[in-house]
Chain A
Amino acid sequence: MEKTEIILQTDGSFVERLVSERTLNVGQGVLDTLTENVTRPIRNVFHIPDWGFVHANAGLNDTLWSVPIGRIPLHARFKLVNQVMVPMFASGTDIEIPLVWKVPTEVKVVFAVLTKQEDGIVSVEGNWLFACDVDKRGYRLPLPNLHDDCRICTGAFDGDQETAFECVKASLEQFGKSKWNADLMRTSEQSKQFFRFKPTKDSFETLPIQSDNWTMLCEKVGSALIERVIV
């Protein structure tokens, strides 16, 4: 379609403008480029037994899966200090116990799995562990085996699966059975204030974090990935 516009300019002159319009046959490639950084959150995509619902943030090239978790398995060495069990990640002599830390209500902990799909195989690109406050600020927990951006040093496991469900399940299984050692450890004093247990007759009870403001024991984290996390 073509149309002609006559424009009267402020200096009194007339200008003729010819406007030509046609519908472009936009290919998928153009659309993909325009939407490259667009992601879409989808809640409650599936449920992993013992862990809970999994939310997705789907991008063009990858999907970030968020699993809000209520516990962190801590297979590590512990020591009794003033009747309180505290982690001794760097120790080679203290007792090794698989304790489970129950996440207190004021902390939102999200286990995240990034997957990509290619040739019918869904691959785990990495696992992250984020702590979030009520305003969705992200924090790195005072744990070893966590990189600065909260990526978990998981150790090797089979991250190539047929479905995203299996990828998340395999990642959580690895997370659940991995031992926490001193790799990437920088915050041992904060760990002892954060992860505390009281021995009871039959087991160990998670004690409150020894701080009025738990975020003071963590490092604040900002990244494109954490912005895709669904708490």
Chain B
Amino acid sequence: MKTITVKYGVDEITKQVEADFTFGDLQGSDTFKAALGFGDNTKALVDGIEQNRDTVIPANATVRIETAANTKA
């Protein structure tokens, strides 16, 4: 297990997750979505740098979730 902090807008949550928990797992997590209110179209950033969904989140990392810009439907 490891601890991560996730921020979305002015809200944030610190939670323990599995050691192999990835940025993609976070972006798809119903638990984090419900707690912070983000949707399906997001990007994950660490220190302002967008992260790959397959990358494992480092322990004690602070991840900022942002609403991604979509293209015109």
Contact = CB atoms under 8 A, between A and B. Distances in A.
- A interface, over-half SS: loop
Give the interface residue-count category, chain B: 20 to 34
A37 B47 CA distance: 11
Given A136-B10, A138-B9, A224 B69 contact: no
B18 interface: no
B73 A137 contact: no
B69 A220 contact: no
Nearest to B64: A222
Interface stretch (B22-30, B37-45, B54-62): B37-45
Interface residues of A, number: 22
Contacts of B21: none
Contacts of A147: 69-70, 72
16 contacts: A37-B48, A137-B10, A138-B9, A140-B67, A147-B69, A147-B72, A148-B39, A149-B67, A149-B69, A183-B73, A184-B72, A184-B73, A220-B36, A222-B7, A222-B65, A227-B9
Interface of B: 7-11, 36-39, 41, 48, 64-70, 72-73
Interface of A: 37, 135-138, 140, 147-151, 153, 183-184, 219-224, 226-227
